[in-house]
């Protein structure tokens, strides 16, 4: 199971885990189902960028149904998530535990300024190609995840729901692994999210701002 705010770069963990499991994983990502909402085009026309608020429940139900059915068949799953709440990952983990799954949590730790910038870039890139399928991330949604990420991770670690917890950064580094590290995962995550910026992060911010300006000029 994955955690991290919108735009944090969880696709990097996708690649790491797919390599680790030699491709023997089914990726379940709720965002990919938003476009399959029966009224998607109408919602886009009426609400534009805000249509995400009207496709969220549909995408969530699709994810729940897939997890239920695929876990019944014993497939290895990679489940995209945000850790916006404790309840959703806890419910999913509890379900999978009853089916004898080993459950790991991998969190992407990205500075909030970088992740939100990435959502803006993604929107502009998609809008240039296809305005109808461009999906914006409301800043309040992004920030709400960030605000609760550390405390939710701490809560989940204390509940001992997961067999292993890992924290990654965009450069593919694993900065924390509960099977090797004894300190609190939440403490490590807090430092990575809100601590001092590295040179690489500063360069990412500069490049990202340049890319956004370039896209807005098109």
Kindly give the confidence (pLDDT) of every residue in the chain, 218 residues in length, as a single tens digit, with 9 standing for 90 and above.
Answer: 999 999 999 999 999 999 999 999 999 998 888 888 999 888 888 887 778 788 889 998 999 999 999 999 999 999 999 999 999 999 999 999 999 999 999 999 999 999 999 999 999 998 888 877 777 788 998 999 999 999 999 999 999 999 999 999 999 999 999 999 999 999 999 999 999 999 999 999 999 999 999 998 86
- The catalytic residue among 31, 163, 177, 181 is 31
Q: What is the pLDDT of residue 1?
A: 97
Q: What is the pLDDT of residue 218?
A: 66
**31 classed as catalytic:** yes
Nearest residue to 86 (alpha-carbon basis) of 145, 169, 13: 145
Distance CA 54, CA 42 (A): 11
For the chain, domains (ranges, CATH) are: 2-216 (3.40.50.300)
pTM of the model: 0.91
Q: What is the pLDDT of residue 127?
A: 86
Strand 26-28 and strand 77-79: the pairing is parallel
């Amino acid at each position: 199971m994955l955690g991290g705010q919108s735009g944090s770069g969880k696709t990097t963990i996708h690649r790491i885990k797919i390599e680790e499991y030699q491709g023997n994983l089914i990726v379940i990502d709720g965002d990919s189902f938003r476009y399959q909402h029966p009224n998607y085009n109408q919602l886009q026309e009426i609400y534009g960028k805000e249509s995400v608020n009207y496709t969220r429940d549909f995408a969530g139900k699709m994810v729940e149904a897939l997890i239920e059915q695929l876990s019944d068949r014993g497939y290895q799953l990679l489940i995209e998530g945000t850790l916006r709440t404790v309840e959703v990952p806890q419910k999913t983990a509890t379900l999978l535990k009853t089916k004898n799954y080993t459950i790991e949590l991998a969190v992407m730790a990205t500075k909030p300024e970088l992740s939100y910038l990435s959502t803006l870039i993604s929107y502009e890139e998609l809008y240039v190609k296809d305005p109808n399928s461009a999906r914006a991330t409301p800043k309040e949604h992004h920030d709400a995840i960030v605000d609760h990420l550390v405390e939710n991770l701490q809560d989940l670690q204390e509940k001992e729901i997961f067999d292993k917890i890992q924290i990654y950064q965009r450069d593919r580094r694993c900065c924390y692994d509960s099977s090797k590290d004894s300190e609190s995962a939440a403490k490590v995550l807090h430092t990575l999210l809100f601590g001092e910026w590295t040179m690489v992060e500063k360069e990412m911010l500069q490049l990202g701002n340049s890319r956004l300006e370039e896209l807005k000029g098109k």
